[in-house]
Structure 1
Amino acid sequence: MRDRLWDRLRHSWHEIWFAPGESTNLAAARIIVAAHAIWVLVSWDIASLSGLPDGFWWNVRQTTQWRFFIFPGHPGVERLAEGVALLALLAVLVGVWTRGSALIAAALLYHLGPLQAFLVHNDPHNRGFTIAVLSLVVLSASRCADAWCVRVRRGPASPSEAPPPQWEYTWPLRLMQLFVAQVYLFGFWGKLSESGLAWFTPEQLGRHAVIFEHRLPGRSLTHLGSVVADSTLLTTLGAVAVFVFELGFIATLWSRAARRIMVPAAVGFHIGILLTMQIFYVGVFHLLLFVNWSWLAGVLRERRSGALPAGT
Structure 2
Amino acid sequence: MNRLSQSRWAQYWDTFWFTPTSPRNLAAARIIFAAYSLWVLASRQLAEVSGLPLDFWSRVGASARWRYLDFPGHLSLERTLVWLAGIALVCAGAGVFPRLSCFVSGILLYHLAPFESIIWIPHPYARGLTISVIALLTLAFSPCGDSWTLLPLGRSRPSAPASDYTWPVRLIQVFLVEIYLFAGYAKIVVVGWKWASAANIRNWILYCIEEDQMGVFHSLGAWAAARQLACLALGVGTLVFELGLIMVLFSRIARRVLVPLVALFHLGILLGMNLTFLNVPQLLVFANWDVVAAWLKKPHPEVSNQPHKVEEVNASAETAFVTQNTLGTLAPMR
Aligned residues: 297
Contact 1:214-1:220 at 8 Å conserved across structures: no
How has the CA–CA distance of structure 1 residues 239 and 102 changed in structure 2, closer, same or farther, with 3 Å as cutoff?
same
SS at match of 2:110: helix
Give the letter aligned to residue 127 of structure 1: R
* Residue 180 of structure 2 corresponds to residue 209 of structure 1: no
The aligned counterpart of 1:87 is 87
Contact 2:23-2:161 at 8 Å conserved across structures: no
How has the CA–CA distance of structure 1 residues 217 and 151 changed in structure 2, closer, same or farther, with 3 Å as cutoff?
closer
Give the letter aligned to residue 13 of structure 1: W
Contact 2:33-2:135 at 8 Å conserved across structures: yes
Normalised by the length of structure 2, the TM-score is 0.84
Question: Structure 2 residue aligned with 1:258, among 222, 239, 254?
Answer: 254
The aligned counterpart of 1:3 is none
SS at match of 1:113: helix
Contact 1:96-1:150 at 8 Å conserved across structures: yes
Shift of 1:219: 5.3
List gaps (5 residues or longer) in structure 2: 1-5, 303-334
Name which one, 1 or 2, has greater alpha-carbon Rg: 2
The aligned counterpart of 1:180 is 176
The aligned counterpart of 1:195 is 191
Give the letter aligned to residue 115 of structure 1: F
Normalised by the length of structure 1, the TM-score is 0.90
The aligned counterpart of 1:309 is none
Partners of 2:214 and 2:268 in 1: how far apart? Answer: 20
Partners of 1:255 and 1:247 in 2: how far apart? Answer: 15
Shift of 1:246: 0.3
Deviation per residue, 1:30-67 (Å, 9 max, x gap): 10000000000000011111111111122222101110
The aligned counterpart of 1:166 is 162
Give the letter aligned to residue 135 of structure 2: S
Partners of 2:75 and 2:158 in 1: how far apart? Answer: 49
How has the CA–CA distance of structure 1 residues 22 and 216 changed in structure 2, closer, same or farther, with 3 Å as cutoff?
farther
Question: Structure 2 residue aligned with 1:231, among 202, 227, 234?
Answer: 227
Partners of 2:194 and 2:266 in 1: how far apart? Answer: 22
List gaps (5 residues or longer) in structure 1: 1-5, 307-312
- Give percent identity, aligned residues only: 37
The aligned counterpart of 2:50 is 50
The aligned counterpart of 2:287 is 291
Shift of 1:196: 1.1
Partners of 1:219 and 1:204 in 2: how far apart? Answer: 19
The aligned counterpart of 1:34 is 34
Give the letter aligned to residue 182 of structure 2: F
* Residue 269 of structure 2 corresponds to residue 273 of structure 1: yes
Partners of 2:57 and 2:272 in 1: how far apart? Answer: 33
Moved more, 24-33 or 225-234: 225-234
Shift of 1:226: 2.1
How has the CA–CA distance of structure 1 residues 270 and 304 changed in structure 2, closer, same or farther, with 3 Å as cutoff?
same
Shift of 1:299: 1.3
Shift of 1:120: 3.2
- Superposed CA RMSD in Å reads 1.9
Partners of 2:112 and 2:76 in 1: how far apart? Answer: 13
Give the letter aligned to residue 273 of structure 1: I
Partners of 1:162 and 1:185 in 2: how far apart? Answer: 36
How has the CA–CA distance of structure 1 residues 277 and 172 changed in structure 2, closer, same or farther, with 3 Å as cutoff?
same
How has the CA–CA distance of structure 1 residues 43 and 210 changed in structure 2, closer, same or farther, with 3 Å as cutoff?
same
Q: Any residues of structure 2 matched to 1:143-162 within 5 Å, and which?
A: 143-152=143-152, 154=154, 157=156
The aligned counterpart of 2:127 is 127
> Which contiguous aligned blocks of 4+ residues in structure 1 show a shift greater than 6 angstroms?
none
Partners of 2:56 and 2:36 in 1: how far apart? Answer: 28
Partners of 1:303 and 1:233 in 2: how far apart? Answer: 50
Contact 2:198-2:232 at 8 Å conserved across structures: yes
The aligned counterpart of 2:320 is none
The aligned counterpart of 1:116 is 116
